[in-house]
Amino acid sequence: MLKKIIYFHIILFLSFSFVNAEIKADYKIVRLYNINHQDILKLTKEGIDIDNVWDKNAIIYIQYDKLHILEDMNLSYTVLKRPDLRSKAGYHTYEQIGETLNAIAIAHPNICKLYNIGKSYEGRDLWFIKISDNVDIEEDEPEVKYISTMHGDEPVGTELCLNFIKYLTDNYGTDQRVTGLVDEMEIWVMPLMNPDGYVHERRYNMEGIDLNRGFPDRVVDNVNTTEGRAVEIQHIMNWAFAHSSVLSANFHTGATVVNYPYDSDFDYTKNYSATPDEDLMVTIALSYASLNKSMRESYYFPSGITNGVEWYTAYGGMQDWNYVWLGCNEMTIELHDIKTPSFSKIPELWDENREAMLTYISWALRGIRGLVTDAETGNPVKAVVRLSGIDHDMYTDPDVGDYHRITLPGIYSLSISADGYINKVVNNISVGENNATRIDVKLTPQYLVNIRTAIVILKIMSNMQINESTKGLDITNDGKLGISDFLYFMNLISLK
Ligand code: ZN
């Protein structure tokens, strides 16, 4: 009997976990016809993942148990065949990606350092390679990052990132431009953010979470903590909190376009959601797309670029999170219409994107840069950097004190503020096309100002006689003005 009960429990447990796994795993890829902006928004609010929208068509990823929503909305659709598992032949396997990165790091120890920033849900490594001169030290250099394949069924960017890493490391020291980029910045590349999805050839991580819908979002999820998020997202967030990247991109397939923030807006009816850095965003997006023939000649996207909301609203995307909370300009780059093209297509795609990928990161060297230090100690300061007229915060890297405010050519005022320091504004900064204008700033600690103020007040008070007009200053009411009144006064106004 006992045996039977145990057996029964095992069966129950197995079937329960199977059902559970099936719910997470079983989704359909569906093409919708004749849809409009409102339909897309409604689906987004139902938690259905929009993958692509063009003309009146869309590709969505939908959990099996949500298919009825399409019926309820009277939408016409077809369920698409899942890509053939053999279609990935030729692409690096997960194991080969790790081996390749390790081999590159070992071959180029002076400019490469390989980090494993954590494990995926199923225990696979999240590799992040840093490429820079003096790779072991953080320098006064902008940090940039490329992250690919947060959707496991979009492997092209993984290959292009591997090619990009090889290109930088192979040409360092011989190619002037590559050498300059590696010397002047800290380049981080993560070829594979969703290794479980990659191995299982599915969009989601193995908790069933779309990693490009699970970040904090200024509209629907305005809490910048890792709590309750997919483990892969937590690793990315924790890494980002400890670094200060100023420019980045994440790579996808399923379309061919550069998508710039915002991906969501407080106003549901909007068809476009511009950041305060709109002109800069558009210019950077264009600089990538104009170097990529398929984007440049795109039929659906004028000049190969689109604003996020203009394309379709997505909540919890990585790019908006980067911009809003890290002050980092991030874009979502869709490399090819077919999610997993034949591997023989990769050399052509690399040719099409190599120049664009190099040009894109070089934006981090433009604008205004400098060091923010404590005027007394010379130590780096964690400060907020703002351009006047642009409602957007950027931050110094607290380890070094460097900031890199990318901006278009023009004349700017820069304001720098930090807790415990007197704000500083630098006017008439001229920014050109190429190298960033350097503005180093020494911030005066508030306590120093307070001490100086206190000394002045003390001197004034000690010279004063008590009369009708000054008797209010005799706070201790002992008939004279002195140090006790002064201290009481200081305490009242909370000067420290
Ligand atoms: Zn994607």
Per-residue pLDDT, 485 = 79
C-alpha of 118 from chain center = 18
**Sheet-wide strand order for 143-148:** 112-119, 125-131, 186-190, 143-148, 245-252, 329-336, 255-260, 305-307
Tell me the pTM. Answer: 0.86
Say how far apart CA 295 and CA 287 lie, in whole Å: 11
Say how far apart CA 268 and CA 260 lie, in whole Å: 18
Say how far apart CA 343 and CA 91 lie, in whole Å: 6
Concatenate the DSSP letters of all residues of 334-364 into one string: EEESSSS--GGGHHHHHHHHHHHHHHHHHGG
| Closest CA relative to residue 381, chosen from 300, 450, 445, 298 | 445
pLDDT in tens, 50-68: 999 998 999 999 988 888 9
Per-residue pLDDT, 2 = 44
Say how far apart CA 240 and CA 260 lie, in whole Å: 19
Choosing from 334, 348, 352, 355, which is the catalytic residue? Answer: 334
Distance 4 CA to ligand 1 centre (A): 47
Distance 114 CA to ligand 1 centre (A): 25
**Token code pair at residue 261:** 């923030």
Per-residue pLDDT, 483 = 78
Distance 168 CA to ligand 1 centre (A): 25
| HSE toward the beta carbon, residue 49, CA cutoff 13 A | 20
Residues 6+ apart with CB under 8 A from 3: none
Q: CB count, 10 Å around CB of 26? A: 11
Residues 6+ apart with CB under 8 A from 243: 143, 188, 397
Distance 119 CA to ligand 1 centre (A): 21
**Token code pair at residue 314:** 């997505």
Distance 455 CA to ligand 1 centre (A): 61
Q: CB count, 10 Å around CB of 488? A: 12
Distance 212 CA to ligand 1 centre (A): 7
Per-residue pLDDT, 85 = 61
Tell me the one-letter amino acid at 292: N
Distance 194 CA to ligand 1 centre (A): 11
Say how far apart CA 27 and CA 15 lie, in whole Å: 19
Domains and CATH numbers, the chain: 21-79 (3.30.70.340), 94-363 (3.40.630.10), 368-443 (2.60.40.1120), 448-492 (no CATH)
Residues of 410-437 as b/e, b for ≥16 C-beta within 10 angstroms? eebebbbbbeebeebeeeebebeeeebb
Task: Clarify whether 99 is annotated catalytic.
Answer: no
Distance 191 CA to ligand 1 centre (A): 14
**Sheet-wide strand order for 410-417:** 394-395, 384-387, 410-417, 424-431
Distance 391 CA to ligand 1 centre (A): 29
Per-residue pLDDT, 450 = 81
Per-residue pLDDT, 25 = 52
Distance 113 CA to ligand 1 centre (A): 27
Task: Chunk the chain into consecutive blocks of 10 residues (it has 496) and report each block's average pLDDT, rounded to whole numbers.
Answer: 42 37 65 91 89 92 89 92 74 97 97 98 98 96 98 97 98 98 98 96 93 96 96 98 96 97 94 97 98 96 97 96 97 96 96 98 98 96 95 94 97 97 96 96 89 81 78 78 77 61
Distance 252 CA to ligand 1 centre (A): 4
Say how far apart CA 332 and CA 335 lie, in whole Å: 10
Query: Helix/strand/coil (H, E, C) string of 422-487?
Result: CCEEEEEEEECCCCCEECCEEECEHHHHHHHHHHHHHHHHHCCCCCCCCHHHCCCCCCCCCHHHHH
C-alpha of 243 from chain center = 11
**Token code pair at residue 139:** 């320098």
Say how far apart CA 304 and CA 209 lie, in whole Å: 29
Residue 161, class by beta-carbon neighbours within 10 Å (0-12 exposed, 13-18 middle, 19+ buried)? buried
Distance 140 CA to ligand 1 centre (A): 33
Per-residue pLDDT, 452 = 81
Average pLDDT, the chain: 91
pLDDT in tens, 346-370: 999 999 999 999 999 999 999 999 9
Residues 6+ apart with CB under 8 A from 341: 156, 253, 349
Distance 154 CA to ligand 1 centre (A): 6
